[in-house]
Amino acid sequence: MSRTVTCPAVATMASVYTSLTGCPFEIGQIQKLVFWRHNQTLTAVASATSATVWTAHLAATGDKKLLVSPPATCIIPPSEPREAGSGNEVINGIPRNIGSNPVKVEGKMWNLGQDTIAALKAIKDEYLDVLLVNESGQLIYNLSGSTVKGFPIHSLWFSDLAGGSFADGTFNNYSFFLEPNWSNNARITAATSFLLEAVNS
C-alpha cells in the first residue's frame, strides 16, 4: 500500500501519548482463528462477548456464518517498509519510503483429521476477514465506527500433511496475508469463557 501524503500539513500534530496510566495493549498467544466473509459485522462491541450472539453466528448459513478454526499456533510479524532507491539514485543515499508491505501470518494446526484440513482448503478462494482468539478467550477485532469487523486477509493457504519423523509430530501449516496498516483499529475484548471452546454446529 502506498503512503498517503497529507499536504498541506495539519495546523497542529495530534496528541499521541496523553496518560501515564493508560491500559497496555497485549494480544497474548493467538490460539484460534475465526473466518468470516468480508465486511460482515457485529453491530456493537458488546456483541463480541455475547455467547448468545456467537451461538447464532456459528450456526448461521450464508454470509453471516462465522467459521471457527481448530486450535492453531499463529505468528504475526511486524510490517516492513516499502522503499525505493539507493546509492546515487536518491539524495544522500537515503531510500524513499513509499508505503508498507503486507504482513505474512503463519502457523500450524496439529494432529488434525485431514477431512478438517480439506474443509479449510475449500474456503481459500473466498474473500475473507479474520478475527483472532487468544489464550484468555479474548477476541482481537477491527473496530469500524461502533461495529466489530474482522481484518481482511488474502492468499489463504493450508499445506498438505507433514509428519512421519522421529523428531516432529503431525501437523499442517497455514498462511495468509494481512493488509498494510491492518492493526490501526485493532481492539481487544474482555476475557470470555466460551470463545476457546467454540465450534461450528
22 confidence band (pLDDT: 50, 70, 90): confident
pLDDT at 150: 97
> What is the arithmetic mean of pLDDT over 141-145?
95
Q: Which residues contact 176 (CB under 8 A, 6 or more apart)?
A: 104, 105, 130, 153, 154, 155, 156, 157
The answer to whether residue 103 scores a pLDDT higher than 70 is: yes
185 confidence band (pLDDT: 50, 70, 90): very high
The pTM (predicted TM-score) of the whole model is: 0.91
Give the model confidence (pLDDT) of 149-167 as tens digits: 999 999 999 999 999 888 8
pLDDT at 168: 86
pLDDT at 1: 64
Q: Which residues contact 194 (CB under 8 A, 6 or more apart)?
A: 51, 54, 137
2 confidence band (pLDDT: 50, 70, 90): low
